[in-house]
Amino acid sequence: MLLTPYRRLGRREWYARAQRSFAARVTLLASLVLLLTLHAKAFAQKITIKGENISLENALISIGKQSGHYFFYKYNEIKDAHPVSLDLKNATLESALTESFRGQPFEYKVERKTIIVNKTKAEPAAKPAKKETSGRVVDQKGQPLPGAAVRVQNSDAATVTDEAGIFTFADLPANATLLVTYTGFASQYVRIAGQSAVTVVMHEDPQNLNALVVVGYGVQQRKDITGSVSSINAEKMKDQAVFTLDNAMAGQMPGVQISQATGAPGGGSSVRIRGAGSLSAGNDPLYVIDGFPVSGDFNQTNNPLNTINPSDIADIQVLKDASATAIYGSRGSNGVVIITTKSGKSGTSKIDFNISTGIQQVERVLDVLNASEYAAYLNEARNNAWVNSGPGRSASDPNSARTNNVMYQLPEITANPAALGRGTDWQKEIFRTASVNNYQLNFSGGNERTRFFVSGGYLDQKGIILNSGMKRYSFRINVDSQVHKRVRVGANLTPSYVTNDLVNAEGNWQAGGIVQSAITAAPFMKPYDSEGNYTKITGLNIGTSEVDNPVKLARESYYKQGTLRLLGTAFAEVTILDGLTFKTLVGTDLRNFKENIFSPSIVNPNSVNATKVPTANAVTTENKSWLAEYTLSYTRQFGKHALSALAGYTAQKDYLDNSSIAATNFANDQIKTINAAGLITSAATTQEEWALLSYLARVNYGYNDKYLLTATMRRDGSSRFGADNKWGFFPSLSLGWHLSEEHFLKNIKWLSELRLRASYGLTGNNFISNYGHIGLTGIENYIFGGSGGSIANGIRLTNIPNSLLGWEKNNQLDIGLEVGLAQNRFSLTLDYYLKNTSDLLLNVPVPTLTGYVTALQNIGKIRNRGLEFAVTSRNLVNRVKWTTDFNISTNKVKVLALGPDGSPIISRQATSANASTHITAVGGEPGTFYGYRVAGVYQNQQEVENLPGISGESKPGQLRFADIDGDGRITSNDRTELGSPFPDFTYGMTNKLSFKNLDFSVTIQGVQGFEVLNMARRYYGNYAGSYNVLKSASQGWRSEQEPGNGTSPMVDRNFGAMPGSNLVNNVTSLFVEDGSFLRVRNMTLGYTIPGAMLKRLGLANARVNFSVQNAFTFTRYEGYNPEVSIQGGSTLVPGVDAGGYPLARTFMLGISLGL
C-alpha cells in the first residue's frame, strides 16, 4: 500500500559552515551528540494544548509544532476522525498522543522524528439483537405526516407511515439508523439506540418547501416570491420521449401553451406564455440558459433549441407576470424561460449511463378513397360535368358522343372501378417505422470546495417520412469551485453539433409538398414499375392534376442542415463582506449554420415533363453573441426584517453574417455542390448586428415572514430603437401576504399555507428587425444619357426612417392566491392576469406623394386576460402512492386599436391561391379566419330562386353561402369571420402511481375551443375528381332525394370553372374545422432495481422504463395534427394546415445505470 504524506507538521533545520578542518570535525561531533540526546528524550518534550471539540488534524498540527516531530498519515482518514477535547499543560509527547487518539480508530508509531499514523482494522462486531420498533412522524405542530418514507440505512427494509403517521419495523437491529423523508420537509436520520418507540419531528425544508427558485439574476425562496412563476424539474422530464426542450414543457404548466406544429425531427414548437402579445414582432419568450439570454426563433425546419440536450437540464422556471419578467426589461413581455443545467454534488464521484431505444410510427393517417372508390368518384365527376354542360346530355353517353375534353372523357383505367381494388396507399408508402436511439453518459462529483459535472450525449432520430432524420452530438462540462472562503468561480461549456436530413413535407403539391402529394395522388397508380424505376404519374392526359410521385419526392430529396454551436459562460463571485457579494458573468454563444438543397432533374412536380434542369441552393449563417454582466447583491436579516437587494449592469452584442447562393444548369444529379452548376442565378451576403446595454435593480423586503414586497427596475438602451428613443424604463412592484402566518389562522391545523400576492409592472418587446428605424437602401438601376443611353447602377431609400421607433410596451396586472391543505398534501394556485400591449409595430399607409406606400410605426393595442389554476394532490400515501398534478388556463385576446383609422388588417397565408385567409379587426381576435360561410347546398330550383345567390350562376347541387350584408346576393362583401385559432382553454394532467419498486405515470394535454383552417382541403376536398379526396368529402349532392352529407355539393369536374363555385377556391367555412383535442402525451411504466440486487451487481442505482409518447389523440379534426400551423407562430396568419409533417407515436425502452 502506498502511503502519501498529506501534511508536514513542524521542522527544525540547522546548518554549519566549516571554515577549518578542525572546526568541521568538532561541529559534526556536536551534532551527533545532539541527535542522540533528542532521540533519548523525545517523550520528555513538554506540550501544552487546551480546547473543546478540536479536530484531530489541528491537534496533531499543534503537537508537531511543539515537539518538532513530523506526522505521516492519510488525510482522507484523519479528516473523518472524531473531534477531541484536550486540556494539556506541559504534557509529554506520549501523553499528548495518548489523549489525542483516545477512542479513535487509529494507532501510531514513533520513529526518530517521524510519527506514523495508521487506521486500525475494525474487528467484526457481534450481531446485535433484533426487536420490533415503531414510531410516529409528525410536523412541528404535532400533526401526523401520512405517507412519509422510512428506510433503514444500508438496507432494503423500508415502509411508509399510515394516516396517523405511524410506522412499524419487525426485527430491527438495536443499532439501526432510519432515514425519514417527506415532501416539503428536511430529511432526517434517526438512531434507534435500542429504543422500541420513537417520535420523529420533521422540519420544513428551506431547500424544498421553501425551495430556492432561480429568478432573473439570482435565486429566491419559493415562499418569498411575489410574482407568478411555474416550474418543472428533471424528474418530470426524464421519462418523456422528447428530444427538444420546448416539447418537454407541453401540458405541464398553467398559462404556458406548447403547440407542436410539426413532427419533423428537431422541428420547433410554438411556445406562448399568456397568449399572443404582438401582431408583427416576435411572440416567443426569452430563453435564459445558465444565465445567457438566447432567442427561440420558432421555425419548423430550423429550431436553435434543438441543440440543447433535454437530459442535461436540471429544471425549467417560467416567469409569467411583470414582477418576474421586468428584470429583463425590453425582452420580457412574452415571458421568460430560465433553464438551469445539471451540476455536480459534493460527495462520492458518480457515473451515470442512460440508454433508450425505440421506434416511431405515424400517429394517425387520413381516411381517403382507395383505388376503386376514387375511380368511381372520378367517373361521377366527369359524368356530372358532361350532363351539366348542356341540355340533352346523359351520364350514360360513351366517350365517342362526348366533347373531346378531359373534363368529360372517362379514362380507360377507370372503366371498371371494382377491378382496381384498394390500389396504392400512398400514405403507407411515404411513412415508415423509424428507429430512435439516445445515449447519455454523465460523470459527476466533488468535495466541499469543488463540484463538477461532465456529460456526453448522442441522439440518432430517424423521421417517419422517408429520408428524414436528425443526429445530435452534445457535450457539456460544468465546474464550480470555492477557491477561497470568499471567492467562488465556475464555468459552463456546452458544445453541440446537429445534422438534419429534411424533406419538403409541408406545403402545396405544386411545390412538391410530399404529404399533400401522398393524399391527393391517384391510388390506381404505383410508386415503382416492374423494373424498379419510379413510376411517372404526371402527364397522363386523363384530366388528373400533375401530382408527382410522392415516394420519388421523398427519396430523392437532398435537403441538409448542419448546426455547430458553442454556448458557454464563466463567472466569479466575491463575498466582499458578510451578506455583500459581487458577481461577474461573461458568456458567448457561437452558432454556425449551413444548409444545402439540391433539386434533381427527376423531381418535377406540377409538370407533364418527366425531368427538368437541376437546381441548388446553399446558405451559410454565422451568429456570434457575447454577454457581460456585473451584479452586486446584499442580503441581511435583522430581527423580524429580511432585506435583499440587487444592482447590476449588463451588455450584450450580437453579430450575424449570412451568405446564400442559388444555381442551375447542373450537368447531372450526381454532383450536388454549387461548383458543378453551369449558371449562378443569384447570390447575396448580408451582415447585421444589434446591441443592448442595461442597468437593473431589485429590492426584496419581508417582515416577520408575513408581509413581502418586491420592487424591480430595468433601463434598456437598444440599437434596435430609433435615434430619439433609444432608452426604455421598465419598473414593477409586487406585494405578498402570508395569511397562514397570522395569529387568527395559525392554529387552523388543516391549513398549511395561504398566501396572497399581487403585482403590476411594465415590460417591453424588442424582438423587431435590427434596422427598422433607419432608412435602408436598395438597388435602383436607371438609364443615363441620350439615344437609348446606358444602364447606371444606383441605390435608393426603400423605406421611411423613423427616429422615434421603439419597443412594444406591455403593462400587466397579476393577482394570485396559493393554498396548501392537510400538511400540503393538497396545494392549489390561482392567478388572474390582465395584460395590455400598446405601441404595436404596424406598417401604416402613408400618402403616395412620399414615394412610399407604408411606414413602420408604433401604433395599435392588444389585450390578453385570463385565469390560471393548478392543483397538486397526494391522493394515496401508504404502500400505494398516487399523486395528481392538474392545470387549466383560459386566455382571451382582443384587438383594441389598429392604425390611425382602425381599418382591419386582411392577410393571405401563402398557400392560399389568391384569396384572403385571415382578418385582424378592432374588437376581435387577431388572425381570425376569414371567408364565406357555407349555409348548405341548394336542393332545388325553388331554393335557388328564393334564397340569396350568385345571379345567373347558382344551381341546385351547388354550395349556398350566407348573405352576411343582407343585400339578397352573394358578393365579396359577404366574407365574414369563420373561426378563431386561439383556444377557449388549455389543460394538462399528470397522474403518477407507485408501489414498492414499480411506478407508472400518464400525462394528458388538452386544448379546447379553437379552429384550424385546413387549406389542404382545396385539393383533397375539391369536389372535382382531379385529386384523391377524403371520404367525408366524397359524399356529394346527387339529387334532392340523395342530398349526400348536406354540406358537400355536386361533384363536377368543371367545378372550378363555374363562377358561382369559384368561391370554394377562396376560403369557406368548409375549410374551417374544430381543432379541439385531448392527447395522451406520455405513458411510462418503470421499475427501480432493489438495493440488495444492486449490491450484487456492484451498482449504485438502476432503473428500467418503457414509455409511449403521443399515445392517443382524440379529436374531430380530420387532418393529421390539430396543432399544425404552416407559418409557425405568426399572429396574423396562424393555424393553417397545408399538409404538415405528422406527429409520431414513439415507443421507447430505457435503461439507467449508476456506478
Give the span between the Cα atoms of 331 and 323, in whole angstroms. Answer: 14
Side-chain half-sphere exposure of 1134, counting CA atoms within 13 A: 29
- The structure's pTM equals 0.81
Rounding to the nearest 10 degrees, give the CA dihedral for residues 171, 174, 180, 186.
180
Rg (CA), the chain: 38
Beta bridge partners of 969: 949
Q: What is the pLDDT of residue 441?
A: 95
Query: Would you say 948 and 969 are in contact if contact means Cβ atoms under 8 Å apart?
Result: yes
- How far from 781 is each of 778, 791, 792, 798, 851, CA to CA, in Å? 10, 6, 6, 14, 17
Give the span between the Cα atoms of 114 and 7, in whole angstroms. Answer: 12
Give the span between the Cα atoms of 300 and 311, in whole angstroms. Answer: 22
State the amino acid at position 55 in one-letter form.
S
Give the span between the Cα atoms of 1089 and 1103, in whole angstroms. Answer: 6
What CATH class does 130-201 carry? Answer: mainly beta
- How far from 136 is each of 4, 133, 160, 679, CA to CA, in Å? 48, 11, 11, 84
Query: Would you say 772 and 856 are in contact if contact means Cβ atoms under 8 Å apart?
Result: yes
Give the span between the Cα atoms of 445 and 812, in whole angstroms. Answer: 43
Q: What is the pLDDT of residue 183?
A: 64
- Give which of 376, 389, 382, 378 is closest to 406, Cα–Cα: 382
Q: What is the pLDDT of residue 173?
A: 79
For the chain (length 1155 residues), average pLDDT per consecutive 10? 36 38 39 40 66 82 81 73 83 84 84 80 54 80 75 78 80 80 73 82 57 81 87 82 82 90 85 89 88 71 74 90 93 92 79 94 95 95 91 92 90 93 96 96 87 94 96 94 93 94 90 93 94 90 89 95 94 94 96 95 90 95 95 93 95 95 95 94 94 96 94 94 91 94 87 93 89 85 76 83 87 95 90 94 78 82 95 89 94 91 88 86 94 92 90 85 91 92 95 92 95 91 89 90 89 70 73 95 92 83 93 94 83 90 95 90
Q: What is the pLDDT of residue 671?
A: 93
Domain segments of the chain as ranges: 21-119, 130-201, 769-804
State the amino acid at position 374 in one-letter form.
Y
Query: Would you say 136 and 199 are in contact if contact means Cβ atoms under 8 Å apart?
Result: yes
Helix (H, G, I), strand (E, B) or coil at 449: coil
Helix (H, G, I), strand (E, B) or coil at 22: helix
Q: What is the pLDDT of residue 38?
A: 38
Rounding to the nearest 10 degrees, give the CA dihedral for residues 1115, 1119, 1125, 1127.
-170
Name the one residue in this structure whose C-alpha cell is 411506478. 999
Which residues does 747 contact at the CB level (< 8 Å), separation at least 6?
none
Query: Would you say 95 and 88 are in contact if contact means Cβ atoms under 8 Å apart?
Result: yes
CB atoms within 10 A of CB 882: 16
Beta bridge partners of 158: 151
Query: Would you say 153 and 178 are in contact if contact means Cβ atoms under 8 Å apart?
Result: yes
Beta bridge partners of 783: 791
Read off the DSSP letter of residue 713.
E
Which residues does 1104 contact at the CB level (< 8 Å), separation at least 6?
1086, 1087, 1089, 1149, 1150, 1151, 1152
Which residues does 680 contact at the CB level (< 8 Å), separation at least 6?
661, 662, 663, 674
- For 21-119, CATH gives 3.55.50.30
Secondary structure of 77-135 in the HEC alphabet? Answer: HHCCCCCEEEEEEEECHHHHHHHHCCCCCEEEEEECCEEEEEECCCCCCCCCCEEEEEE
- How far from 871 is each of 374, 755, 883, 1005, CA to CA, in Å? 51, 15, 11, 15
Give the span between the Cα atoms of 1128 and 271, in whole angstroms. Answer: 10
- Give which of 865, 864, 884 is closest to 874, Cα–Cα: 884
- Give which of 257, 275, 232, 1126 is closest to 765, Cα–Cα: 275
Burial 582-613 (b: 16+ CB within 10 A, else e): ebebbbebebbbbbbbbbbebbbbeeeeeeee
Query: Would you say 844 and 869 are in contact if contact means Cβ atoms under 8 Å apart?
Result: no
Please report how the helices 93-100 and 56-67 are oriented relative to each other, as an axis angle in degrees rounded to 10: 170
Helix (H, G, I), strand (E, B) or coil at 288: strand
Give the span between the Cα atoms of 792 and 801, in whole angstroms. Answer: 26
Q: What is the pLDDT of residue 297?
A: 58
Alpha helices in 538-645 (DSSP H): 550-555
- How far from 598 is each of 511, 666, 677, CA to CA, in Å? 14, 10, 11
Residue 1115, exposed/middle/buried by CB under 10 A (0-12, 13-18, 19+)? buried
Read off the DSSP letter of residue 331.
G
Q: What is the pLDDT of residue 1057?
A: 60
- Give which of 622, 616, 628 is closest to 659, Cα–Cα: 622
290 phi-psi bin (left φ>0, alpha ψ -120 to 50, beta other): left
Residue 324 parent element (H or E) = helix 322-325
Burial 835-859 (b: 16+ CB within 10 A, else e): bbbbbbbbebeeeeeeeeeebbbbb
- For the stretch 1033-1037, contacts whose Cβ atoms lie closer than 8 Å and that sit 24 or more positions apart, written own/partner, are 1034/369, 1034/373, 1034/377, 1036/380, 1036/957, 1037/937, 1037/939, 1037/956, 1037/957
